[in-house]
Structure 1
């Protein structure tokens, strides 16, 4: 009985063990870290030993600050080259900005000191710059389709605006006009650059780390903009203290600036489907049976004239209005041949027009493009393809499309949307 009472007493008053945090030691790259879960569930990490050389610690600290976590395995190919030229681009851009704003001070009759250059940057943000931003904001769909091209255009516009400011002392009586046009161009450049930033960063994201990529990219921009401002102040107080020096240095800085942007964009593996990239994918597949990845075709993209026709892909052109490219009788024939498809094809003198329905996806565009490419190989020397040639091409497309699409998605392409740059579509 006494034993039973003691047992019941222990059940009523159990011994409470103290809540101790869980901790462990991690050793990696000559660094020992103590990791510990606090009672509230948060994890704290403390370095308790670091035997790395000082230079290695500095390098690792730099990488942690300016590169995404897990670099280089957390990003796609081309990110380092993109970042190198982006850093140089910001240096030249910031230096050029200092020279241009100092020249505006000269034209306005203010005392020509380099330190006053920052005043103009603040004063001239409104007015014509806002007009440029409003105009450029209407081109968002085109920027989605061709972000690399519009990123280059943005920096060309920026340099054009800066160039107008640099030469403003040569015509001080036109100060307001030169400053207004310069800020108009810069306003358009700001919108284009910001609008294309997200799709460019997205092309490098590999592990859901878009925010990390964006944050590190902004850190790089900030650091090298400061370096560029310092370089610009040095130039403004030495060889560029006169308008003659600026007329020599500004074009050189502008050339380096645009070259860096072009190299950045060439290194960027955009993985969305637009007319140019779709044509390149289809051309490679029809010629060799190989499906390229976004990294494979990045250096083949035309940043200046993206609408070029590719013969191996059927010379397809997308985006024209339906009523402009096909007659009603021909439209009925096309819908009889392809009753379930969301595209219409029509052969013109030099190319094949493809018009998409309003809800057509990237897969629908790929189907139409493959039909056009196979038809071009089947029809022979005749200009207008016959119904039998179209049906043969359609059957061939259906035979290969499922494995083609599967491999395409496996290479990292996003096929859910087709970005045609606000091209015309139709609805029944």
Structure 2
């Protein structure tokens, strides 16, 4: 139907992907798509692919870094799938598959021991590091993949050390259990970041579809690889190291592509330090590019948030010193080389951000004097003065730069303390 002389009755669109118009002419209503119609078949195929593997409403329904992250995540999953094939073949060979002298009972015991130690490792790791997986999602995402590669390398080597086979595969099982907890939890944390329409379930489901497609592709490639690497340890190790390098590179690029707009300790420290240097507030993209993604085993002056009162003060005199500024929302102190923050029950998110900023400033200014107890409270009182001067304009600058200050990913413990504003 020609549109000449027709009247546009209505327009509609499907997200940003498609736009349609309804025309009325001679009592007939016709619906036509805007734009070129020559590649409608191609658009239809692309549209089906998007609906199957991408969240509904893409790209508006997800964060801006979604596509880049998913591309690198897909690459690492493909490499991991191929490495996993090599490791599985080695494990099966180690428990006796293809060996007529091997017994079913021995293989079963080895498998049960591996699974049992893995279960214990999963529980212990979740207990010790569960709270860190939200605040340090990028770091633990990368740690999980490094441990996964180490575990697979151990499984490949295990058959060549038959006397220690069970010990090696059990250790690898512990590593893989940590991978399961850290990988799954950090993926959930990243899904929360990516979901912009409370569509976490849809994003998670489509991520599962993408992973299944990648694993299917890895399975097809593995069918070609297995005959080549069987009884060829040199080729097995060579391919494993190739896939591992690609896997780690893709993982690094994936976590580097994530741009979180909420503060954790590292991002807040980066933003605050730049503000103190030159009065400017870096955007989320700039701060995320500088955020460390590798595990730090030791910090000069670590910060502990949400601690018990006795970790900040241990005498009425020290409590008087801590309350000198009449701050009723949080208390700061230095104990055993750590900056400790005690939080009040009525503290808001802004109070938490201010307390963390003050702790970051204090941590950076203790330096070599961290062992001089009498200087601690001088530094604490000076940090209050600094925050009184800079915090409000800093918070306005942070909000203007695009940071989300309605919530944080700061690693607060659960202790909350009520105290009198003045100690007798």
Tell me if TM exceeds 0.5: yes
CA-CA distance at 1:214 after TM superposition = 1.9
CA-CA distance at 1:372 after TM superposition = 5.5
Instruction: Find the counterpart in structure 2 of residue 128 from structure 1.
Output: 117
Which one of the candidate residues 339, 359, 367 is aligned to 1:353? 339
TM-score of the two chains, using structure 1 as the length reference: 0.74
Separation of aligned partners in 2, 1:263 and 1:91: 15
Quickly say closer, same or farther: Cα 1:208–1:423, change in 2 above 3 A.
closer
Q: What is the root-mean-square deviation in Å for CA atoms of aligned residues?
A: 4.1
Quickly say closer, same or farther: Cα 1:67–1:333, change in 2 above 3 A.
same
Instruction: Find the counterpart in structure 2 of residue 281 from structure 1.
Output: 271
Quickly say closer, same or farther: Cα 1:158–1:152, change in 2 above 3 A.
same
| Paired residue secondary structure (1:336) | coil
Instruction: Find the counterpart in structure 1 of residue 248 from structure 2.
Output: 258
| Paired residue secondary structure (1:127) | helix
Separation of aligned partners in 2, 1:381 and 1:75: 46
Q: Could you give the per-residue CA deviations for residues 268-324 of structure 1, whole angstroms, max 9, x where no partner exists? A: 1233333222212211222233333433322211122458769xxxx7733477645
Instruction: Find the counterpart in structure 1 of residue 68 from structure 2.
Output: 81
Separation of aligned partners in 2, 1:273 and 1:241: 51
TM-score of the two chains, using structure 2 as the length reference: 0.75
| Ranges in structure 2 where 5+ consecutive residues have no aligned partner | 1-8, 23-30, 100-106, 420-424
Separation of aligned partners in 1, 2:205 and 2:97: 38
CA contact (8 A) 1:66 1:217 kept: yes
CA contact (8 A) 2:332 2:380 kept: no
CA-CA distance at 1:81 after TM superposition = 1.9
| Ranges in structure 1 where 5+ consecutive residues have no aligned partner | 1-22, 35-44, 113-118
Instruction: Find the counterpart in structure 1 of residue 49 from structure 2.
Output: 62
Q: Could you give the per-residue CA deviations for residues 43-98 of structure 1, whole angstroms, max 9, x where no partner exists? A: xx999x97534334333332332223343343333222211110111111111111
Larger Rg: 1
Is 1:184 the counterpart of 2:174? The answer is: yes
Quickly say closer, same or farther: Cα 1:373–1:326, change in 2 above 3 A.
same
Instruction: Find the counterpart in structure 2 of residue 340 from structure 1.
Output: 328
Quickly say closer, same or farther: Cα 1:299–1:406, change in 2 above 3 A.
same
Aligned residues: 382
Quickly say closer, same or farther: Cα 1:32–1:317, change in 2 above 3 A.
closer
Which one of the candidate residues 232, 235, 257 is aligned to 1:267? 257
Q: 218-227 vs 334-343, which deviates more?
A: 334-343
Separation of aligned partners in 1, 2:363 and 2:96: 66
Q: Could you give the per-residue CA deviations for residues 163-202 of structure 1, whole angstroms, max 9, x where no partner exists? A: 1211122023443333322222212211111111121112
Instruction: Find the counterpart in structure 1 of residue 90 from structure 2.
Output: 103
| 1:213-362 correspondence to structure 2 within 5 Å | 213-239=203-229, 241-306=231-296, 317-319=303-305, 323=310, 328=315, 329-346=317-334, 353-357=339-343, 359=345, 360-362=347-349
Q: 64-73 vs 93-102, which deviates more?
A: 64-73
